[in-house]
Amino acid sequence: MSAAAPLADVRVLAVEQFGAGPWATSQLADLGADVIKLEDPASGGDVGRTVPPFAEGEESLFFETFNRGKRSISLDLRTRAGRAAFERLVPHVDAIYCNLRGDQPDRLGLTYDALAPLNPRIVCCSLSGFGRTGPRAAEGAYDHVLQGLAGWMSVTGEPDAPPTRTGLSLVDFAGGYMSALALMAGVWRARRDGVGGDCDTSLHETALALLTYLATWTASAEYMPQRRPESAHPSIVPFQAFRTADGWITVACAKQKFWVALCEALDLADLLADPRFADFAGRDTHRDALLELLRPHFAAETSARLLERLAAARVPSGPVNDVAAALRDPQVLAREDVVSYDHPRFGAVRQIASPLRISGHRPDYRRAPGRGEHTATVLEALAGLTPAEIAQLGAEGAFGAEA
């Protein structure tokens, strides 16, 4: 018999939409948490339901990506009846999660102060653009804007190209991970100490935190980060992309032994005797000269042949794949990193498996819920409401005018 899912005893009520928040709670759902997605009927639910290109009605492959394995209820928290139904659920969940603007948790009563009388162990986790305090607290924020604001775009791309964002919404996704970690830390403390609390996380501070050593160098030593050609590392050489005879590969000589192995693999042992390139500092100082010597050797051979030689020498390296090629990689196939489940509208939906591998647990990959699909079930099973009481709430506008 396999062990229970790691978070099988955790229940989260999520007031979330679009990418960052749903990504956070999808990590919890993959680990077995019961994630109940609260959708606003007045706005048609999560806007992610209609994101193109693969969208039909209120279902999209974008929404599937971020909401598999969850349940959905429709509640209008701005109505008295909707708030009443929400408060009936609060005693039966471990956490309230929201990814609204920083001023919204107070406005909607999604804070510990507002909900502790109903459940003193409740954890209220907010992921907003800028946090719940400060001059930007009431501002919305999107990944693209934050990549510019936090300095990411200034260090991404070729030196003479316009400022460039990363190809993925990494601020959103990293913010989701940060908030999920904060939520679980809050739940652990609540179970240990008997008292819940607030978690105030922000996309802006996540983006700043991910500057890591660049921020440390800049704040401590007035370092001026700059963009390097070929996606090169700011100080380690060679650690970048190289053009080959038929494409591009990446090489990462992050240790001295890899530099030695690279030279031997490319029949460039004479470079090992050159004092300019003897150590990290020398190779950084003489970066341009070194790369002028290396580039022709990469350009003269195919990617496959170079990667074969580098792999034999145990030099960290790899091809620059497109997404389709990335999903066909032998490692991906061996680890079964692409999973599939059936969907009534899209047929077989294939997604990336959870990277959170814990012994004894394999996620139960299930389709994302229809909007409000579980409203009656959740209110009956958790809040103990009768069908007649649920019908009365509906008549009073708890589930929106369309109900």
CA distances from 88 to 4, 13, 37, 314 (A): 28, 12, 15, 59
Sequence letter at residue 124: C
pTM of the predicted protein model? 0.93
CB 176 within 8 A of CB 21: yes
Q: What is the pLDDT of residues 140-186, one digit of tens each?
A: 999 999 999 999 999 999 999 999 999 999 999 999 999 999 999 99
Evaluate if residue 1 carries a pLDDT over 60.
no
11-210+365-395: which CATH topology? Rossmann fold (3.40.50)
- Helix/strand/coil for 385: coil
Structure confidence at residue 2 (pLDDT): 53
- Active-site pick, 30, 34, 40, 172: 172
**Is 230-243+248-319 in the same CATH topology as 11-210+365-395?**
no
CA distances from 162 to 132, 141, 167, 227 (A): 33, 22, 14, 11
CB 152 within 8 A of CB 207: yes
Q: What is the pLDDT of residues 48-77, one digit of tens each?
A: 999 999 999 999 999 999 999 999 999 999
Eight-class DSSP state of 355: S
Eight-class DSSP state of 245: S
Q: What is the pLDDT of residues 323-375, one digit of tens each?
A: 999 999 999 999 999 999 999 999 999 999 999 999 999 999 999 999 999 99
403 pLDDT band, cuts 50/70/90, is low
Structure confidence at residue 402 (pLDDT): 63
230-243+248-319: which CATH topology? formyl-coa transferase, domain 3 (3.30.1540)
User: Which residues neighbour 58 within 8 Å (Cβ) at sequence distance 6 or greater?
Assistant: 44, 45, 49, 50, 370, 371
Q: Is 172 a catalytic residue?
A: yes
Residue 364 CB coordination number (10 Å): 12
CB 313 within 8 A of CB 307: no
CB 262 within 8 A of CB 313: yes
For the chain, the domains span: 11-210+365-395, 230-243+248-319
The Cβ-side half-sphere exposure at 147, using a 13 Å CA radius, reads: 20
CA distances from 38 to 99, 157, 239, 309, 373 (A): 12, 39, 45, 53, 11
Q: What is the pLDDT of residues 110-148, one digit of tens each?
A: 999 999 999 999 999 999 999 999 999 999 999 999 999
